[in-house]
Amino acid sequence: MKKAFTMLELVMVMVIMGIVASIGAEIIASMYSNYLRSRTINRLESQTEITLEQIAKRLQYRIKESVITRNNLGNPLSLSDSSIAAGGTFNVLEWIGASNESFLGTPRPGWSGFIDLDSNDTNRNAVPRPTLKTSESNLTDAISTISALTNGNITLTATNEAALVFKGMAYSVADFGWGNPNNFDGTATIKVRTGASIDILEISNDANPPTEITEQYTLAHTAYAIVPSATNSTDFNLTLYYNYQPWLGRNYNAHGKPSVLAEHVSLFRFRQDESILRLKLCLHDANQTGVGDLIVVCKEKVVY
């Protein structure tokens, strides 16, 4: 007689194999889901860190008194204003940055950051334009660098002046031209062009002559704005605007060059403690993995 499996044995084997296959499929699906989740979290963490680092690098060279925030209507306020609830309706971060790229130079910096107050070339009442002697500067190199960075918008010539801000003086938001859209020429951002030599700056005729001159200054060629899109409060893009000059009547909406820093942002918050800026950024995956709820990663950064 030939031996064979009975029908009951075959059914039992098929049932057991089905159970094993079902459990195995669930395990494989769970492992794949966890892999997608881990990969997405790692990607979001990297993107969040890189975005915060990009913002912090530019804020590192900010003119601290110039930092403001705006709401959706464009109204500016200083970050130190007590009426601001950080991260409320004021969600635009804007500032004027020192022209650090043009400062660097060999063997002389593009601009030294110092005014020779004892020089005869430093004359607040000079005609046709007040002059400032900035010793050890090579403004020729500075112009070349600034012109390249601004695509020719700033060349330290008439109507294309850079901004000079004296250090050690008390400034308000309006002094940087943020406040009144009909008065861009704030008293802090003095429009300057090159003078008779590579270490002479001239104050433009249409700028208010400074009532006080200090020894130290900062040169600027652009302002920056971090602007969230207003389409969705929990899913928006974060855009950096640059290469615009408030002291020349230019703003980021009409004149700034945009660059998207991050997509699918769910939160962008900032606040100022003394001169320290605290940033918080949250990115999500827009459920691209399809594993269920949104995956969200948040990081914070402090800029001194």
Average pLDDT over residues 248-271: 92
Question: Does the pLDDT at position 32 exceed 90?
Answer: no
Contact 288, 264 (CB under 8 A): no
CA distances, 179 to each of 176, 187, 251, 290 (Å): 8, 12, 12, 46
Cis peptide before 128 (omega within 30 of 0): yes
Q: What is the mean pLDDT of residues 89-112?
A: 89
Name the pLDDT band for 221 (thresholds 50, 70, 90).
very high
Can you give the pLDDT at residue 37? 83
Q: What pLDDT score was predicted for residue 275?
A: 83
> Residues 6 or more apart from 178 whose CB is under 8 A from it?
66, 68, 76, 94, 186, 246
Q: Contact, 103 vs 143, CB < 8 A?
A: no
Q: In this predicted structure, which of 29-33, 60-64, 98-102, 147-151 has the lowest mean pLDDT?
A: 29-33
The pLDDT value given to residue 182: 47
pLDDT band at 298 (very low <50, low <70, confident <90, very high): very high
Task: Report residue 229's pLDDT band, with 50, 70 and 90 as the boundaries.
Answer: confident
Residue 86 has pLDDT above 50, yes or no: no
Binned at pLDDT 50, 70 and 90, residue 45 comes out as very high
pLDDT of 95 strictly over 50: yes
- Sign of torsion over alpha carbons 193, 258, 251, 238: negative
Average pLDDT over the chain reads 85
Average pLDDT over residues 206-213: 72
